[in-house]
Homo-oligomer: A and B are copies of this chain.
Amino acid sequence: MRTPLCEQFGIDHPIFAFTPSEHVAAAVSRAGGLGVLGCVRFNDTEELERVLTWLDDNTDGKPYGVDIVMPMKIPTEGTSIDLKAMIPPDHVSFVEQTLLKLGVPPLPEGEGREGVLGWLHSVARSHLDVALQHRPVLIANALGSPPKDIIDTCHEHGIQVAALAGAAKHALSHVANGVDIIIAQGYEAGGHTGEVASMVLTPDIVDAVGPDVPVLGAGGIGSGRQVAASLALGAQGVWTGSIWLGTEEYRGLGSNSEAWETAFTRATSSDTVRTRVYTGKPARLLKTKWTEAWAEDGAPSPLPMPLQNLLVAEAHNRISASNDPDVISMPVGQIVGRMNAVRPVAEVVAELVSGFEDAVARLDEIRG
């Protein structure tokens, strides 16, 4: 399975794997894809520095990428304390009461109260500064075009810039801003996503940006058949995320591995929900008692980004520590219905490749 992206990045398969785990990212890169490390979880740049050094040392010299979360327009930003003052008390009380009702205990004194700060612009920018000291070949931005100076800096370092888009007009604007690669993020994808499904979105974007801009299909891709479908739609590669949450290498990230494994192995494709409760922007999550509580009559509307994530940050830590498969806050796509066992990364990559080949062989036969 080779497209021009393989030569461009020095990879064997045009399979891009977004993951918050350096162990998954390294394993994907070693298996011939491109592991892309999600940086949003790193509040501490020194930890990111250590992790990227580990990646440099554990990818057998193969390339990798990093993923940041940054709006193009640099927001006015106070400290985390200033922002917290903007959160209405009723929201705080709803979160507390919901956790109580769902049986999620408080954290032990002094433990993990800090939320994820990677949603803040200043923190995302520090991620990039650290990354530039290492050897990423790709910087992907989950919120579309990054600011112009970031794109320029990446290009000066020989790093390609990718950005997610949920509609053709956004893809066109990314290209106009200097973005090199568009990730066509379909409705079925985990995390931030729009309303247009991959079957329609991928060719929309491929045709809008033209043949000189590579497009990665994202959303609903967990098997080789889906890779074949995405490439049939005109993508030059695939951007995958959810499936890596079901791998052996992902285990151990966070404290609720056991609850998460129970939850994802039993979930069907219908057990996700697109909601603003995670970050303030629509994102697809596993449907659990936590997301359902926010959908009940009388629940408050989620706050805008970045306030919503600050609001629920401690709740996420408590939910994670409680290790309850019925109460989970986890971005995941509709492909969760097919994540029914924990597999090694290399096995998943091998199936994506061989399943692609089988699908093409079947199509050949149909064509006659």
Contact = CB atoms under 8 A, between A and B. Distances in A.
Interface of A: 1-3, 167-169, 186-188, 194-201, 203-204, 219-221, 223, 225-226, 228-234, 268-270, 333-335, 337-338, 356-357, 359-360, 362-364, 366-368
Given A204-B337, A225-B232, A198 B199 contact: yes
Given A187-B188, A360-B367, A367-B357, A203 B219 contact: no
B197 A334 contact: yes
Name A's interface SS: helix
Contacts of A364: 360, 364
A203 B225 contact: yes
Contacts of A228: 229, 232, 363
Contacts of A269: 167-168, 196, 200-201, 204
A360 to B, nearest CB: 5
Given A187-B188, A364-B360, A195 B232 contact: no
Chain B CB within 10 Å — which of A231, A268, A334, A367 has the most? A367
Contacts of A367: 1, 356-357, 360
Contacts of A167: 268-270
A359 to B, nearest CB: 5
Given A196-B337, A232-B359, 16 more contacts: A2-B366, A2-B368, A167-B268, A167-B270, A188-B196, A188-B199, A188-B200, A196-B269, A197-B220, A199-B199, A200-B335, A204-B337, A229-B233, A232-B363, A360-B360, A360-B364
A367 B231 CA distance: 11
26 contacts: A2-B366, A167-B268, A167-B269, A169-B268, A187-B187, A195-B270, A196-B337, A197-B199, A198-B198, A199-B221, A199-B226, A200-B334, A200-B337, A203-B223, A203-B226, A203-B338, A204-B338, A225-B232, A228-B232, A229-B230, A229-B232, A229-B233, A231-B366, A232-B362, A360-B360, A360-B366
